[in-house]
Amino acid sequence: MLLCIDTGNTNTVFSIWDGTRFLSHWRIRTDHRRTADEYYVWLSTLIAVQRFELQIDACIISATAPRVVFNLRVLCNRYFDTRPLVVGKPDCLLPVPPRVDAGTTVGPDRLVNTVGAYDRHGPDLIVVDFGTATTFDVVDIDGAYIGGVIAPGVNLSLEALHMGAASLPHVDVTMPATVIGTNTVACIQSGVFWGYVGLVDGIVDKIRAERDRPMKVIATGGLAPLFDQGFDLFDAIEDDLTMHGLRLIHDFNKEMGNG
């Protein structure tokens, strides 16, 4: 079975592909100090709870936080006796290389999203990922990642307001009933929620204008459904897009005789 690991700046998600489907997924806070032994104890406990057999023979990792890769590699080597593929490293092949400025390191999550979305939806896509950062990844006719947009994430924006303004409390994101807030919390929620609806709408419009062609918008990340309440921002929401992309990249490398 294939172990897929997606490390974002906030959370790390593990999932196991049994050859036909993903068995389940498990989420742990991203922390580069976490050791291989800690990961293994945590993962094997959860797998036992769900009564799955832990028979991993291949691993693939996407890590936006590079420092976590060392311990994840040790986990794969020591406990699963495999050498993991690490997306973004030269020895991990991609079906189509990204077309960006020379020397640019594209976030591996964005490359993986591109592969997953192109497989499901074909060419001319904008993938919006609501993670720590909100990213827009533009997918060309041949499936290549050709650039995009990085904006501060929803929770990061809320946190920044709280950190920077003495009288603003920490607030959870939600869709406020009205745009005009009549208390501090409602005002903040309105600013962030409607601000993000406007941000997504505006950026998608501008990308479409710049590309001068119709483009589908695919959303992923935990907060995507929040922004899908009747605004018609997205053509599809897919919470498993990154895992799907990881599996495809693994299969592609296998087909090419790599790893």
Ligand X SMILES: CC(C)(COP(=O)(O)O)[C@@H](O)C(=O)NCCC(=O)O
Residue 9 interacts with ligand X (CB under 6 A)? yes
Q: If we measure between CA atoms, which residue out of 77, 93, 9 comes closest to residue 40?
A: 77
Residue positions counted in the chain: 259
Structure tokens, 235? 């053509």
205 in helix, strand or coil?
helix
Residue from 62, 135, 155, 220 that binds ligand X (CB under 6 A)?
Answer: 135
Instruction: Please give the Cα distance from 37 to 48 (Å, whole number).
Output: 16
- Is 131 labeled as ligand-binding? no
Could you say which of K ion, ligand ADP, ligand X, none residue 155 binds, taking C-beta under 5 to 8 angstroms by partner kind? ligand ADP
Does position 133 interact with ligand X (CB under 6 A)? The reply is yes
Question: Is 109 annotated as catalytic?
Answer: yes
Q: In this chain, which of 8, 88, 148, 245 binds ligand ADP, going by CB under 6 A?
A: 8
Looking at residue 250, the DSSP 8-state letter turns out to be H
Q: Which SS3 state, helix, strand or coil, does residue 163 take? A: helix
**Which of ligand X, K ion, ligand ADP, none does residue 106 bind to, with CB < 5 to 8 Å depending on kind?**
ligand X
Residues 186-225 that bind ligand ADP (CB under 6 A): 221-223
Q: Residue 124 burial (CB < 10 Å; 0-12/13-18/19+)?
A: middle
Q: Please report whether residue 108 would count as binding ligand ADP according to CB under 6 A.
A: no
Q: Is 132 in the site for ligand ADP (CB under 6 A)?
A: yes
Residue 12 is labelled as binding a ligand:
yes
Residues with a catalytic annotation lie at 109
